[in-house]
Chains A and B, each alone.
Chain A
Amino acid sequence: MEQTNKLPEKVKYDLKFAREIYSLENGSYIKQCMQCGMCAISCATRDIMDYSPRRLFNLIKLGKKDEVMQANTFWYCTSCCTCLVRCPRGVPLVDVMHDLKKYALDNGYGDYPQAAFYKAFWAEVAGRGKSFEGGITARYFLFRGLDEVLKYMALRDVGINMLKHRRLPLLPPKKVKDLGNLKKIIRKARELSGKEAR
């Protein structure tokens, strides 16, 4: 496979980036990776990933910030958990991928369409306490722009079928009644996790 040969040109160790990643919630697990490749052969989307998880971990260890953050690897993870149950070192790869997504969004690496989807999903949940497909879709296109809308015209059959079979409510679900307190909880949780990354 072509992507297997994609190696950084010069190996220059920059441990600052590695340390930053290790300090994320599940980041220290990356140090446990022994490069066996089990995640690579297990992954449902490995074929279209820039680097398999184990290669990505290697790049992190080398401090290759741009290569890591610009890779599609963690955005293409589908959370199917196959790697998670197979990893002989018990690395919770799905959770590590979450950390990498969050780090990418926090540091301005959010160009993949998946990043827009993630932000759209969170905006709905944070604002209502529940997710609403219609709102997520609208926000997604807002983030991605008109070009993306046109591209999706090919998919209009999917949408029409969903509507026809009453599977896309046009009105959002009722907000969580205790939304004020839910927001307080989320704010406090974000504050705490910022203070102490484990």
Chain B
Amino acid sequence: MKYSFYPGCSMEATAQANLKSTEAVAHALDLQLEEIPDWNCCGATVASGVVGDFTQQVMTGRNLAIAEPKGQDVVTGCSSCYLSLARTNKRFKEDEHFKAMANEALAAGGYQYNGTLRVRQFLEVVISDVGFERITKRIKRSLKGLKVAGYVGCQTVRAIPYEFDDPEYPVMFDRLIESMGAEATAFPMRTRCCGSSHALAGTDIVVDSIHRLFDSAAQGGAQVIVTPCPMCQMNLDAYQQRVNQLRGTNFNMPILFFTQLMAIAFDLPTDAWALKYNIVSPYAALAPYGVR
């Protein structure tokens, strides 16, 4: 299967582990990700606050316009990119007036988008197009007994509610973890916010939010947290030590992208695991499974 791939800015910087493991896992599952040429930033959840939704959506629409001639589903590995791309796509499909105006703006740069594509998340592609059965068959390294908290985050399931799973009590991510042979632990806060883009301007918001998440994951007995979202991964990984300093806690919870765990379970080359990017070391938790 071929897809048009939108990596997003984070995959080139803070979330390189996401890019490396996603590409490797896609290859192992015969999914061909063809990068959209000369893509631009989707604006995340921030640009709209400066220039308004319309301008941000037009800017995002340029990526869809470039991808359209190929007719392949657009796939992204970032929840925030998904939010921008999928909601923009929906507007192009459902709002004729918006579409006409947006195309008037796109034409200023020589582009046009007719709204014919589907926008999807890599997580959803893995679950729907590959399926749990094929994933289980592909497992070469048993993760039996590994206790994993599946942190779905917010935008993955709420950008387009019910498109993929329940927006508040999603179940698919846990099923994916179990299809990898690991144990999905009870984690009631699995869709609770991580503090999002406040890491710089509102550190307290992030510290407070992720403290609650660690508490909830630890209560369920998790050894690692796994997430599809680069923003969640960064906040939980980079600010964990800060939570321990400020709150007198002692969390030592590795935060992996689900694609990293898949790369390990598939026994792909260690490069594909991309564990050197993890700030909280995952090696102690994964040592019993031969990860070193």
- What is the interface of chain A, defined by CB distance below 8 A to chain B? 24-26, 44-45, 48, 76, 78-82, 84-85, 94-95, 97-99, 101-102, 105, 112-114, 116-119, 121-122, 125, 129-133, 136-137, 140, 155, 157-158, 161-162, 164-169, 173, 176-178, 181-182, 184-190, 192-193, 196, 198
Given A85-B158, A117-B200, does the pair A182, B46 have CB atoms closer than 8 Å?
no
Whether the pair A122, B51 counts as a contact (CB closer than 8 A) is yes
Closest 7 CB pairs of A and B: A181-B109, A101-B49, A80-B193, A44-B193, A188-B108, A81-B158, A98-B48
B55 contacts A189, C-beta separation under 8 Å: yes
Query: Is B40 a contact partner of A130 (Cβ separation < 8 A)?
Result: yes
Q: Check if A133 sits within 8 Å of B14, measured CB to CB.
A: yes
Contact A25 B53 (CB under 8 A): yes
The residues in B between 233 and 249 inclusive whose CB is less than 8 angstroms from any CB of A are: 234, 238-239, 241-242
**CB <8 Å contact, B154 and A114:** no
0/1 interface trace, chain B 129-162, chain A, CB 8 Å (1 if under):
0000000000000000000000000110011010
Restricting to B83-116, which residues have a CB under 8 Å from any CB of A?
83, 97-98, 101-102, 104-111
* Residue B13 CB within 8 A of the other chain: yes
Residues on the A chain within 8 Å of B154, using CB: 78-82
Q: Which of A25, A98, A99, A116 has the most CB of B within 10 A?
A: A98
Is B109's CB under 8 angstroms from A132's CB? Answer: no
B2-28 vs A: 1/0 string, CB under 8 Å? 000000010011111000000000000
Additional 19 contacts, C-beta under 8 A, given A44-B192, A82-B191: A78-B154, A80-B192, A98-B53, A99-B53, A130-B12, A131-B9, A132-B13, A133-B13, A157-B242, A165-B277, A167-B16, A173-B13, A182-B59, A184-B108, A186-B58, A190-B55, A192-B101, A192-B105, A198-B98
